[in-house]
Amino acid sequence: MEKIICGIQQMGIGVPNVQEIWKWYRKFFGIDVKVFEDAAEAPLMIEYTGNEVHKRTATLALSMEGGGGFEIWQFTSRPTNKASFEIKLGDFGLYSCRIKSKNIDETYRYFKVNGADLLTEVVYTPNNHKHFFVKDPNGNIFNIVESSNWFSETNHPSKCGAVAGTMIGVSNIDRSISLYKDILGYSKVEYDVIGEFEDLKGLPDGSKSFRRVLLSHPEERQGPFAKLLGETKIELIQAIDSTNCKKIFENRYWGDWGFIHLCFDIQGMDALKEECESKGYRFTVDSSNTFDMGEAGGRFSYIEDKDGTLIEFVETHKVPVLKKIGWYINLKNRDPKKNLPKWMLKAMGLNRVKN
């Protein structure tokens, strides 16, 4: 089977209290559909957890507005550790998560009225699109961006959908970009600019000079969940005049506080593995066969970008639609390029959790 990148499935977020922060994400982003909730050990991740098996709980949540979800992840066998330093713009790793909005000004007003920690006012990107930055109660930074790509209407008051990409700090854009352009399909450069930027000045170290490259995928994504996951963009950012940038997860474990991985929903894992390894990105983790997440199952793997940022791939085999009656979708015998029917995807919304 050929490689198919279906979209960003989820942003992994390490948190100290899953239920507490998920309530905030439901209120502000409308990410309120529970796909699975699983408590178990994570033996396959020991390369990133100090060569020791740790227990965790993980909740995958989506929005029926569309976009990738959150995998909200919490250690249960050890504390969830924060970075020992202030994370600054240009540090290496997943710096912020893009969240899409139908109306930036209305979203900004909703966030302000409801007491969110706003880092900027509504500002303009280098290609003249409105956006703003906000911090969640755990200190994670989200970039709220304009979008016209939606799956369905939930009437959430924030006018938000779910994950629409990410901003990634890298040490050298020219060295890093091939992974995102060639393997992950973000081959369109929407801008490539160097300088000081007004829209970044509310961020830690945001007044310094940076190179920014915004990448998008010119082709519509294919695959079972592609319509739900929608369009996404990745912005690579490199500090120009700073020599003390650090890895965001320096001396910490995968699963600790912050954005722990960027996960892509894919089909054709064997073909993807061959391509990645031929281009110098070995699979550091590979579950090989179906990995059971209790209510969902699939094969997953990880690679690292040139600065050690973790990219996860999941080839979904089974996903719950309505668990109460035992309704699951089995994807193993379906056309890997074909979208699941919209009514079937919308039925997952029956698993909505309300505040």
pLDDT of residue 331: 79
Give residue 66's Cα distance to chain centre.
13
Comparing C-alpha atoms, which of 53, 3, 313 is closest to residue 182?
Answer: 3
Alpha carbon distance 218, 202 (integer Å): 31
pLDDT of residue 65: 97
Comparing C-alpha atoms, which of 176, 218, 277, 223 is closest to residue 7?
Answer: 223
pTM (two decimals): 0.95
8 Å CB contact between 166 and 39: no
Residue 109: in which H helix or E strand, if any?
A: helix 104-113
Output the six-digit token pair for 188.
């369109």
8 Å CB contact between 66 and 230: yes
Q: Which CATH architecture describes the domain 7-351?
A: Roll (3.10)
pLDDT of residue 291: 59
Comparing C-alpha atoms, which of 275, 158, 143 is closest to residue 214?
Answer: 143
Query: Per-10-residue mean pLDDT for the chain, 355 residues long?
Result: 95 97 98 91 92 95 97 96 96 98 98 98 98 98 97 97 98 97 98 98 96 97 96 98 90 97 96 97 87 66 97 87 70 85 89 88
